[in-house]
Amino acid sequence: MTVSITRRLLLGAAMALGLAGAAAAEYPERPITLVIPFAAGGSTDVVGRIVADRMSQELGQQVIVQNVGGAGGSLGAGQVAKADPDGYTILMATVATHALNPLILKQKPYDPVADFAPISLLVLVPNVLAVNPELPVNSVQELIDLAKKEPLAYASSGNGTPLHLSGELFKAMAGIDVTHIPYKGSGPALTDVLGNQVPIIFDNLPSASSHIASGKLRALGVTTKERAPSFPDVPAIAETLPGYETYTWNALFAPAGTPPEVIERLSAAAKAAMADPAVAERMKDFSATIVASGPEELAEHVKAEMAKWEPVVRDANVSLD
């Protein structure tokens, strides 16, 4: 009797595993929704649409972009965290959704580690420190020297954004006190810096690049460890402040509990998409560096980013409701 029951249980388990394997092998059987947790038009949206289009070809099913803006990316990320873990709802995440918001928000809408299954770290996008040309500085060191002599202010796209915290990290490492002026987005911030209402800005390099190229802004340094290929004459801030490094990044996540076979299928499709020369050329347009990692590397990246930003957020006393 015991042998019969045991045999039945083993057969049932084997059948369940077989069905699960078959389901994973057939994935995807219908369109996939890629949630972009910001409004259309920004760099994350652009990256997402390029990747979604190419992944659609790899997967044989359409990857449909859905913009769910609000709460600095937390609204869309929270929606994906609660979605069915079947591989049909995935997230285009950033440093904001998976490092900064969890540290800054008083009410935590999700856990960036426990509530998500990593798929692939796609690209790194530099930020840039730039000034209005009327400010009498031509280098990072000259800006630091000036800030030690007279009060200055810098603009960013808003409180708690990666650009705000890029400025706070710069201040801490340079030993200077510069007033932060938050705006509701990069557009208004750029407008006031171009008009010299505020002399300094931390911005995404893609957003500021046309103004730098035209001479309306003077780029003092990019925030990545090395110079950006699109502006090779602009030094890295790290050349003056060793160890300084910030950037925006884009990565794909699924809800926690998504089958490993499905994660591997999505990760392989993402890597294939990023290896396409046409995609690589598009990424160059806004100085994005392609990474195309596996799930394990992305998981380690998130932990490292949270560890890096936690003291910056704490020391700057940044918190949002």
Using one digit for the tens of pLDDT, what is the confidence trace for 144-187? 999 999 999 999 988 888 999 999 999 999 999 999 999 888 88
CA distances from 27 to 59, 198, 212, 288 (A): 8, 52, 45, 30
Last residue of a domain, one of 211, 239, 267: 239
- Whether residue 68 is found in the same domain as residue 172: no
Query: Over the stretch 36-54, which tens digit does the pLDDT of each residue have?
Result: 998 887 778 889 999 999 9
Helices 162-174 and 295-316, packing angle to 10 deg = 60
- The reported pLDDT for the residue numbered 187 is 86
Residue pair 266/254 in contact by the 8 Å Cβ criterion: yes
- Whether residue 105 is found in the same domain as residue 182: no
* pLDDT at 4 > cutoff 50: no
- Whether residue 162 is found in the same domain as residue 235: yes
Last residue of a domain, one of 239, 258, 274: 239
Q: What is the mean pLDDT of residues 296-309?
A: 95
Nearest partner of 56 among 273, 282, 225, judged by Cα: 273
**Is position 192 within any domain?**
yes
- Strands 116-131 and 218-222, sheet pairing: antiparallel
**Is position 187 within any domain?**
yes
- The reported pLDDT for the residue numbered 7 is 52
Both tokens assigned to 211: 């103004």
| 288: phi then psi, degrees, rounded to nearest 5 | -75, 135
- Whether residue 130 is found in the same domain as residue 113: no
CATH number at residue 235: 3.40.190.10
Which residue segment(s) compose the domain that 229 sits in? Answer: 126-239
pTM for this prediction: 0.83
What gap in Å lies between CA 160 and CA 225, rounded to an integer?
Answer: 22
CATH number at residue 275: 3.40.190.150
